[in-house]
Amino acid sequence: MYFVNAPFFLRWLYPKVTFNRSRKDKVLYLTFDDGPIPEITPFILDTLASYQIKGTFFCVGDNINKYPDLFHRTQREGHQVANHTYNHLKGWNTRDDAYLANIAECEELTKTSLFRPPYGRAKKSQLRRIYPSFEVVFWDVLSGDFDTKLSPEECFRNVVKHSKNGSIIVFHDNIKAIPRIRYTLPKAIEYFQSRGFTFDVLRPAMDI
């Protein structure tokens, strides 16, 4: 089970976590988790380039080391890279010291103060030690592209139904997401652009 739209109780449980940016302007933030991988990250980069927009990529350190050319392309084309742990660890199942060390290993590669815990799950004891060094970013809208039971059309509807000014939208550059992100990403971009929205990267809150 997962929530497409971040519910109130999650925001209450994690008051220091970022779920969205300012609601004042018609700006959306496309984010991509788990890459880079050659099977889908190039398609995402090509799509963003064709619409002349930028996104934020929460990268897994192990994938950065496996596919450094893709990682450097992401940076070179003006996208924001961010930390998603080195081994895509689930915080709830990992000792605090091991989890923090894994984040630090990824940080050596991404060199960013933006962090998203894989699965959107981390212990409060871990988060307390992460907050001083990172802005922890969850999301406003979860596309569901990772859900193999979800049709591409349903994935698209998830995004357009729940997104609004300042929404942080999650897609995935992983194998499971391929059929849904190939359909939804360009269609959603066109939908929102036709309604006057623009897109931006997630800059660390301290830089805003």
Q: What's the pLDDT tens digit per position in 70-115?
A: 999 999 999 999 999 999 999 999 999 999 999 999 999 999 999 9
For all residues of the chain together, what is the average pLDDT?
A: 95
pLDDT tens-digit profile of 25-69? Answer: 999 999 999 999 999 999 999 999 999 999 999 999 999 999 999
pTM across the whole model = 0.96
Residue 49 lies inside a defined structural domain of this protein: yes
Tell me the C-alpha distance between 142 and 125, whole Å: 25
pLDDT tens-digit profile of 169-181? Answer: 999 999 999 999 9
Residue 206 lies inside a defined structural domain of this protein: no
Asked if pLDDT for residue 151 goes beyond 70, the answer is yes
Residue 166 lies inside a defined structural domain of this protein: yes
Tell me the C-alpha distance between 81 and 74, whole Å: 8
Looking at residue 34, its pLDDT comes to 98
Hey, which residues are catalytic here? 33, 172
Only one residue has tokens 């739209």, namely: 5
- Which of 34, 37, 25, 81 is CA-nearest to residue 55? 81
Phi, psi angles (nearest 5°) of residue 202: -85, 105
Which residues constitute the domain of residue 77? Answer: 8-197
Question: Which is more confident, 8 or 57?
Answer: 57
Q: 141-142 and 114-115 as β-strands: parallel, antiparallel, unpaired?
A: unpaired
Residue 207 lies inside a defined structural domain of this protein: no
Residue 64 lies inside a defined structural domain of this protein: yes
Residue 175 lies inside a defined structural domain of this protein: yes
Q: Kindly report the CATH number assigned to the domain that includes residue 179.
A: 3.20.20.370
Total tally of structural domains belonging to the chain: 1
Q: Where residue 139 falls among pLDDT bands split at 50, 70, 90?
A: very high
**Which ranges in the chain belong to alpha helices (H)?**
8-13, 41-50, 61-66, 68-76, 96-110, 124-130, 152-162, 178-193
Q: Where residue 208 falls among pLDDT bands split at 50, 70, 90?
A: very low
Residue 32 CA to its chain's centroid (Å): 4
Asked if pLDDT for residue 206 goes beyond 70, the answer is no
Record the tokens describing residue 79, joined without a space: 């996208």
Residue 208 lies inside a defined structural domain of this protein: no
Residue 72 lies inside a defined structural domain of this protein: yes
